[in-house]
Structure 1
Amino acid sequence: MIQIRQNLREYQKDALQLAIKENCALCIPTGLGKTLIGLSYAAHLLNNRKARRILVIEPTRFLVEQTYRYYTQNSTLRDVLKIYGVVNPEKRERLWREATVIVATPHTAYNDLPFLDFDAVIVDECHHTVGQHAYSKLMRNYDFTYRLGLSATIPTKIKDQIEETIGKIYIWSYDDPKIREFVPDWYFDVYDSELSPIEKDVYHSFEKLWLDEGYKVLRSIIGLGKRMLCRDGKSAIIDSLERGRLEILSYAYDKLKQVREDHKLNALREILKRDFDKAIIFVDRVIIAKKIAEEFNHLNPVLFMGKLHGGKELQEIAIKRARDEDTRLIVATTAGEEGIDLPDVDLLIIWSNVASSIRFVQRLGRIMRKTGKMKYAVFIATPDTKDYESLYKGFLAAYEAGINFQEVDIDFIRSLVKKTPMGKIVELVEDSGFVSFDEIREIYGVRADDEGGISRIRRNLSRLCNLGELFFVYYAPFNFKRLRKALINLKNRKYDPYLYPFLKRYWCPGIFYDASELQSLAMNGKYKEIEEIVGMPVPRPYTKFLSWLKTPIEI
């Protein structure tokens, strides 16, 4: 019998009963426990032997990770797996057969349609189940006996399609008497926005150029181009090239001109379909700000770009216009981050993510005023690029500053690392336990004689080590006290040069321990505890164990 570790609120009980009664879509505002309803629904089907296996669909890898973690932490359900595209096809085919409950992205499930064997589906963010979206393709091509859709909002124009593919729609609002007391003051969302194939090709060419020793003196310019493309969009690069800047990257001009629009624009369209009174969007490039204002002219936007783009008088006019009730959209560059008395907004959108903890917190400050309204913060980020790395660092800084995110803890924040350029390393290590530097190098496609590429990998390894994501295991030196101090610093995310010589070969997941503790356990014959800590067999007796500590670990 599967037990749920949380008690359902009254409105959640009502929603669950509707789901048990018939196939349906539940439309409940974000932050009010839709995932718990889905988990309870899954438990009911399994406990009552209505379903053998259940598929849970999440739109992004991030949400797959989050839902998987939620299901395992909030129930006694243990037979759960997560699957998405980064898992190789051969392994996916095996994984599809292994668990009672599988959490996956719609793209992965649809691509692996022949391997599916489920009689129930829980479709999170079910408003995507329209048109040619992978959600819709999956639901049209696989016959699930039991169907439950979950969403915060389902636009009127797509309700018929949702009812056709999933079932009747039931809607709860923030004003519902059973919900009102649970409404959070504010919450956030992260929207992934992938680069197009052409943009990815250009981005990777920038990376190769950056690693080329022949262009070492131009790395700052090349790095700026990388950040600009993934953070701001192709228009920012084109604008700079047309102004005679970033000439070293001019070879990419014709390719980028083929791209129809900036890669984050479609995500912004989805975000601005939300119900809001006034929104502010933070971007770093003026050209992007102007394009956004042009695209969303129906929201009566005002551009706020500071004194350098219009002078004091125009700046004051912009502030006045921003306060006008008819102005529903403020598009701001860095000028809107600090000190300016902009009006209250209930929707904050971050287009250009920043690594600066100060700027991150300042931007959030725009919705931290207590007005009695629900506040939203939405971050648009480009996976597997420096843009996501900035997002991760910003979240971490805000968390450590004590800003209260709805349903966010340090585990969630650190999970963002998997979508940064360092994510490949983390996933490889988590999958294998121990990996060699050469294995990591091969994953990155870096040759053994490529000094620049090797240097980049070591920097990423060093960064992950200092962040506490990975812990290096190679050998333990004689000076155990010094190692202990280094490990304490590592655990507290403080850089310690004593760890630097370790950044060469073998790595394991982020387990923090020190050699003196291992010695103590070995002296008491507790070798099994040691093996649980280091994740591998260790030699016995004590003398051999000490010798093992002082020599390279052979995998």
Structure 2
Amino acid sequence: MNPKLTKTSIVFLLIVYLKHDFIKPDSIEYREYQVNIAKTCLESNTLVVLPTGLGKTVIALIVIASLLSRKCKILFLAPTKPLVNQHTAFLKQFLTLDEDEIVIFTGEISPDKRTKLWKETKIIVSTPQVIENDLKNNRISLEDFCLIIFDEAHRAVGEYSYVFVAKKYKEQRKKDRRILGMTASPGSDIDRILEICENLEINNVEIRSRYDKDVRPYVHGLTIEWKLVELPEEFNRIIMLLSEVLSEKLGMLKTAGLLETAALSRISMRKLLEVRNIIQDILENNVLPSKEMYKILMAHTIALKTYHALELIKTQGATALRRYFKRIQSETLMKKGNNASKHFIRDRRVIEAMLHLKKLDVEHPKLKVLSEIVEDQLKKNRESRIIIFTQYRDTALQILDQISNIKEVKAARFVGQTTKVEDKGLSQREQEKIIRKFKDGEYNTLVATSVAEEGLDIPSTDLVIFYEPIPSEIRSIQRKGRTARKMKGRVVILIAKKTQDEAYYWSSVRKEKLMYNQLKTINLRLRGGKAKIDDLYPKKEQQKKLLDYM
């Protein structure tokens, strides 16, 4: 059923609304790219890749409305409870169905009641784990569902519940099944993209960016800038001492044949984590004598700790490093304390670095630059909404303390639910309360960790600040998508010169470009009928590990 249009003129702007029997009148703005994408979603299983704020949920709404006249059910999956609640409220707000025909499935509902609701309800919105458990216990079947929507579809890899649900859907509904996957970014790794497509039976990819011709009329201007800062000379001694420790441990790993180079400039956290996987394989197969293996394992664990300490002082500052050292010291005092932590903290160079750090009264220059940006923004526009993203909770505390001295700032810290040592997480209710106050203007600035990147219904802002770049193109796209949704937006990325910040920034830029190229290539070949997902690219040969040569 193709949506028809009606036009309404409001304050000199011509707003065209979708007209559909199952969509409430004068409620959803007509956007050509959304309607066109929805049409293709009705024809074939489709992965929709749109930046945050361009209306993936509206596309889902159009697809749902177009299928409601059929005698079938619809399942809408999302990875978190807040997202499930958000999608349910959206569907109830804009569909003409009775509200009791749209039901949330949670683990709190008794199994018997879930079974009853499953049979009686038209649209079910749920986390995938609840559906997976009920499928495994044979309480439900997907036989009557003509559509399953997988929100944040980039999660449909490995052992995640999306994979199981999609497999069962194929088994239980032999024909006339439709899948809609939605994500802001599936990542740039071709194997991962193809795995998502294979798991969800995708045979069409719809990708748009804010710069595409059919999208540009509906988006606001977005400027992206970066501010470069110099590390203070007072950090140099600490960096030198920790670099000596790291270099020594990398040399041991190189001698053991686990690294090709021990050069600090060629080592990344990703490389060190790859080495950890190799060591775990060796331990499982007991290839090396335990004493020698213990030394290698110890060297690797200390290398990881030292690398992280260096990253903290270079990109976060002295306070973040102090808190990190304090946590390691606490680990050593525990009965089953980590031996690597004990060896690390007793190293004379680490001790000297800690003593130097104790006397240091200089903070990271990013804090001063950040304060100036925030203060300037709020002086220009008191109604501004700002989100400051940072990787670390410790840094979020420090930023909150720093900007709270600015007269115009009304700030809140926004972190996840997990409670860590000396740092209590926020419950879902507390998160919702902060978001509500941010919407209402009681707060004008959020200092957030990754929890604000995906899924939560956070209102659009006119300024997003990256306290540090991140190498993940998925997270970078999600962060940038928090601005320029209903107004002009600005993204500012803080970068400490000659640190991991520079590498991470260019890594995310490269990966984002690669992702769009990979997706467009996949779609061209799928639409041309030249290949199926399985045949698009040869599978990568698994990298050989140390064990393969022993």
* TM-score normalised by L of structure 1: 0.43
Higher normalized contact order (CA 8 Å, seq sep 6+, divided by chain length): 2
